[in-house]
């Protein structure tokens, strides 16, 4: 298990690995732990082999000895069907992070932006989304914490 000095470094590495796991076809994700020595590490990314949604078994598994689960991570694929939503945390993403008191990290694979959502700092349902269908709804965008040049990973 590789250790990182900050949660941001761990999330970046985890999201790059998630992108390599699922690429353009499937969401992949996992969890980030704070280790007993104060460093951070992440679980290997998992996939449910679906373009939308991933069941992260590490959320229900006990963390490694002496570690505490502090965040989850996943990537959103960039497809014609997901383009309007790739930069937003889904309602399920936000609910999981709120319920488990975790920080959420998400890689928007359309832009390479890494979004961070912390329910203790960021508003949920803060962005109005209009699909030009007459219906308007709200999603959570968090804030951009980093960027990955996805062209360098292909």
Per-residue pLDDT at 142 = 93
Per-residue pLDDT at 5 = 98
Q: What is the CATH number of the domain that holds 52?
A: 3.40.140
Residue 1 maps to a domain: no
Per-residue pLDDT at 76 = 92
Residue 37 maps to a domain: yes
Please tell me the total count of domains within the chain: 1
Residue 74 maps to a domain: yes
Q: Which residue range is the domain that position 85 belongs to?
A: 7-153
Per-residue pLDDT at 131 = 64
Extract the residue ranges of the chain whose pLDDT is less than 50: none
Model-level pTM greater than 0.75?
yes
Residue 2 maps to a domain: no
Provide the total of helices (H) and of strands (E) in the chain, helices listed first: 2, 9
Tens-digit pLDDT profile for residues 103-136: 999 999 999 999 999 989 888 777 777 766 777 7
3-class secondary structure per residue, 82-136: CCCCCCCECHHHHHHHHHHCCEEEEEECCCCEEEEEECCCCCCCCEEEECCCCCE
Residues 6+ apart with CB under 8 A from 46: 21, 28, 29, 30, 54, 55, 56, 57, 58
Per-residue pLDDT at 79 = 85
């Amino acid at each position: 298990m590789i250790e990182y000095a900050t949660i941001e470094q761990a999330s970046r590495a985890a999201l790059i690995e998630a992108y390599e796991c699922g690429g353009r076809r499937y969401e992949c994700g996992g969890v980030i732990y704070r280790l007993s020595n104060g460093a951070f590490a992440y679980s290997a990314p998992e996939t449910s082999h679906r373009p939308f949604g991933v069941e992260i078994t590490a959320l229900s598994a006990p963390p490694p000895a002496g570690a505490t689960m502090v965040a989850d991570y996943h990537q959103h694929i960039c497809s014609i069907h997901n383009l309007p939503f790739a930069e937003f945390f889904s309602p399920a993403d936000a609910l999981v992070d709120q319920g488990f008191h975790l920080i959420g990290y998400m890689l928007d694979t359309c832009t390479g932006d890494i979004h961070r959502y912390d329910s203790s700092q960021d508003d949920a349902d803060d962005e109005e989304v209009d699909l030009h269908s007459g219906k308007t709804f709200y999603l959570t965008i968090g804030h951009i914490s980093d960027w990955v040049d996805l062209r360098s990973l292909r």
